[in-house]
Amino acid sequence: MTLFTERGFATDVAQSVKRIFFSFGIALVFALPLGLLMGAFTPVAGFLNSLVSPFRYLPAPSFVPLLLMWLGTGDNQKIALLVIGVVFFLISLFMDNTRAVSAELVECSRTLGASRAKVLWYVLLPAALPTYVDTARQMLAVSWTYLVIAEIVAATDGIGAMMMRAKRFVQVDDIMAGILTIGLLGLLTDTLIRLIHRLCFRYLH
């Protein structure tokens, strides 16, 4: 296959992996605190949910023209697209995870004199953390599905760019290799997060 000779395939894979994890990390930084607050406080959810929910129904690829105008064709545009693809779903799912925490835990802590801040930090967050990790694992799979879309627009590196180069020369084997690589990388990250979940939350297994 020509992908190993024309460009460093390992370099393309490394670039794609970097984009996935960096963008997903940014999405988590925004989604986790917002999801926690929205799940814990009804007024916060009432205000923010009307802003967050509509964006879940907008296809992330539709933002590509705007991102190209605002951010150019570099990495920033690709990372922004990957963030948009998952962040609004993460916020809503984290909110639901927080609301699923047993009400008895919250009531007991309030009865014992815990402040709202302490309930949030010492009760809700630890209780919801296992489901947060599982939710993040599922949404990371969605992020992988947006990778090719993010990398086919004016990209010079990454798995998606490699597949687009292969398309121009009708190199079907290279395209199939790219698809299989994304699938294997997604499976590897899913397995890794499952392992982390099992090690960190042994009491659930």
Instruction: Tell me the per-residue pLDDT of 98-157, one tens digit each, with 9 for 90 and over.
Output: 999 998 988 899 888 888 889 999 999 999 999 999 999 999 999 998 888 888 876 778
Q: Would you state the pLDDT for residue 7?
A: 52
Structure tokens at 107: 């009531």
156-158-163 Cα angle (round to 5): 85
pTM for the model stands at 0.90
From CA 90, how far away is CA 83, in angstroms rounded? 10
More confident residue, 5 or 101: 101
46-49-52 Cα angle (round to 5): 160
Confidence check: pLDDT of 38 > 50: yes
In terms of DSSP H, where are the helices of the chain? 3-6, 9-40, 42-56, 64-71, 75-99, 103-111, 116-118, 125-145, 147-151, 159-168, 172-200
Closest CA to 85 of 140, 37, 137: 140
100 — phi, psi (to 5°)?
-80, -10
Q: Mean per-residue pLDDT for 176-191?
A: 92
DSSP assignment letter at 41: -
CATH number for 14-155: choose from 1.10.3720.10, 3.40.30.10, 3.40.50.1000, 3.30.465.10.
1.10.3720.10
